[in-house]
């Protein structure tokens, strides 16, 4: 069997329905679109969430909460992930975590969390850390340094 001898199975290739090609085709005249109205016209496409003119659900429901434009949340990472990805004695920084794809690049910084166990000695430089993460890193003989978070990007001002 060679690649050039392969054929599609029976019924795999179906010819497309030829709409609006006369009465004899069975799909002539209105081409299966019914009579008149917006949906029968060419080029029609409705917006997402359009409910036929009825007040859409996203406008019927009340708005809740507050959106802060300058808020940039921290990427969270647990110490068990670091134990798997880095060797004993490594220096771990936010930039290094972003380069390796362990955390997203659009975050304001990294917060270290304390899930899992750690046996390797790391020097870790991150923006925030939980108390349990700090205790586990120091118990393993490593050091944890907190660096200041990068300032939030200024909001774009426009007319």
CATH no. for residue 130? 3.100.10.10
The pTM of the full predicted model, rounded to 2 decimals, is: 0.54
The reply to whether 159 falls in a domain is no
**Cα(31)–Cα(17) distance, integer angstroms:** 10
> Range of 139's domain?
75-146
Query: pLDDT by residue for the chain (159 residues), tens digit each?
Result: 899 999 999 989 999 999 999 999 899 999 999 999 988 999 999 899 999 889 999 999 999 999 888 888 899 999 998 888 888 888 999 998 988 888 887 788 899 999 999 888 989 999 999 999 999 999 999 999 999 866 555 555 554
**Domains contained in the chain, number:** 1
The answer to whether residue 156 sits within a structural domain is: no
Does residue 142 lie in a domain region?
Answer: yes
Is residue 130 included in any domain, yes or no? yes
Integer Cα distance of 97 and 77 in angstroms: 10
The whole-angstrom separation of Cα 16 and Cα 120 is 62
Partners of residue 146 on adjacent β-strands: 126
**Pairwise CA distance, residues 147 & 126, whole Å:** 6
CB within 8 Å of 80: residues ≥ 6 apart: 115, 116, 117, 118
């Amino acid at each position: 069997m060679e690649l050039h001898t392969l054929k599609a199975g029976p019924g795999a290739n179906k010819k497309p329905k030829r709409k609006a090609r006369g009465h004899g085709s069975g799909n002539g005249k209105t081409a299966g679109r019914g009579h008149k109205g917006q949906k029968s016209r060419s080029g029609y496409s409705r917006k997402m969430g359009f409910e036929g003119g009825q007040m859409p659900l996203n406008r019927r429901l009340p708005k809740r909460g507050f959106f802060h434009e300058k808020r940039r949340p921290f990427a969270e990472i647990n110490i068990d992930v670091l134990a798997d990805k880095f060797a004993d004695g490594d220096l771990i920084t936010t930039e290094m975590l972003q380069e390796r794809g362990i955390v997203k690049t659009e975050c304001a910084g990294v917060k270290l969390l304390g899930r899992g166990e750690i046996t390797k000695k790391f020097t870790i430089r991150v923006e925030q850390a939980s108390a349990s993460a700090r205790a586990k890193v120091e118990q393993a003989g490593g050091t944890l340094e907190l660096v200041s978070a990068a300032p939030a990007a200024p909001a774009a001002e426009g007319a």
